[in-house]
Amino acid sequence: MFKKILIANRGEIATRIIRTCEELEIDSIAVYSDVDRLSPHVLKAKEAYCIGSAPSSQSYLNTKKILSIIKEKNIDAVHPGYGFLSENYYFADEIKKNGVNWIGPSPESIKIMGDKILARSLAYSVGAPLIPGTNKAINDLNRALEAAQKIGFPVLIKAAGGGGGKGMRKVNTENEFKTAISRAQSEAKNSFSDSRVYIEKFLEDPHHIEIQIFADNYGNVVSLGERECSIQRRYQKIIEEAPSPFINDSLRKSLSEIAIKITKACKYSGAGTVEFLVDKHKNFYFLEMNTRLQVEHPITESVTNIDLVKEQISVAAGKKLSFTQNEVQITGHSIECRIYAENGFENFLPSTGYISDMIIPQGIGVRFDEGIRINQKITPFYDPLLGKLITWAPDRRTAIQRMIRSLNEFYISGVITTIPFCLMIISHELFKNGSYSTLTLDNIYDEILSEKKIAQKNMIIPMSISAAFHSGSSNKNKTIKKEKKEKSTWKEQGDKNCLR
């Protein structure tokens, strides 16, 4: 097993990986930007090293600096988490060329499945149904328009070199088409350094279903079941659950079989996720494969009782999977709410500032994967995800009630968060009865805003909603004092971290 693992990431996923490293008695090595020097992942790690200034391009995407630390500190393996360099096959290849273990799939697998066009071709070759669309990148607008007309509006313009909702545009009519192409290409270029886009048919009322797979280097590939990820804003997930209330056993089996075929075809190793769109008639279509650990992996851990990070490290160290398909048992139900520093009632406007206070919910079946602490400054430089609240219960109804209780207990002040917004979604009848799709949030958004205004007017406001109304607006003097205090200890503690 490894002695030193460098975590090329930040926030809650870095903290999550550190915890498993501690249980395995492996030294965790953190990297950080100057604005993150007092973040939880830095304080929790065995060693931590500054890699640059706040912009990601100068720190968490600074491959040259990260590689220099890997060489200097005799690192055994690198865990990329998700986001940043996790699906960068150039970086993965450089790690391996330097004789260091990459905790993830091979650079070749990342390259194939990270390219959405190549991934579609591979999926098609093993019999996966595909959403109608183009098989090549758009390089001629007139031909692209002809293809869109043949597919039928509405269509989606999608980035070929990445996901997460970046470089994606829904186009309802021909008049919008050329402008949407241009904007999608520009966003794809900025997000992935790859301006290629392609066209897919826009499906009506689809469910976003993903299969968690795990593979080792000995030909063993296992499905750990599905996750329902249909509550989304701007094509990015907010709430996930496992198992899906929409999927039946027959469809679950079909999805898992196709996911395993795709995984084997790209000679995959480690944790990965094969994503599908499933229409209201339960017809399913391959969407993409994420060649990394997912943000929502804790709900799979909850229903399988398998530590996915531990298994990633084990497989990367050359061991076989510690379980077989027959040994995977799905028990109970789990739900995850992503807690962002955003105002869900104001079109998810990002919020920045200092976290002045925090009450984290506790109790049976409650877990919070956090990347924050009291007095921490939330900056505009990175993804606004603060952490993930996860509940588990023997049945879905109890898991929902446990999440409602936990969200009501949850309190963060100093920045506005999505806690109250998640509470209103979880409490909505469409969520409770499981009859929602990827379009549900857009359809009920105005209703949620109206309910929030009524609750505010009548003062029928749970603590978490009240916190959202008032936090971030009345602590200006406290924030100034905290900033002075933080600056006074910044250099001393930061330098100490660099030298640990």
Please give the positions annotated as active site: 292
Cβ contacts of 399-404, under 8 Å, gap ≥ 24: 399/241, 399/332, 399/333, 399/334, 399/335, 399/365, 400/335, 400/426, 400/431, 400/432, 402/363, 402/365, 402/366, 403/335, 403/337
Cα distance between residue 287 and residue 276, in whole Å: 5
Cα distance between residue 369 and residue 334, in whole Å: 14
User: Which distant-in-sequence residues (6+ apart) come within 8 Å of 346 by Cβ?
Assistant: none
> Which residue from 381, 360, 369, 378 is spatially nearest to 338, judged by alpha carbons?
369
Cα distance between residue 500 and residue 489, in whole Å: 16
Cα distance between residue 316 and residue 110, in whole Å: 15
Cα distance between residue 188 and residue 435, in whole Å: 33
Exposed (0-12), middle (13-18) or buried (19+): which is 346, by Cβ within 10 Å? Answer: exposed
C-alpha distances in Å from residue 447, one per residue of 188, 201, 340, 444:
33, 28, 21, 5
Cα distance between residue 56 and residue 79, in whole Å: 17
Strand partners, 413: 357
Cα distance between residue 295 and residue 292, in whole Å: 9
Q: Which two tokens stand for residue 46?
A: 């065995």
Cα distance between residue 223 and residue 484, in whole Å: 51
AA identity, residue 411 = Y
Q: Which two tokens stand for residue 80?
A: 């990329």
Kind of pairing between the strands at 366-370 and 411-413: unpaired
Q: Which two tokens stand for residue 148?
A: 């869109």
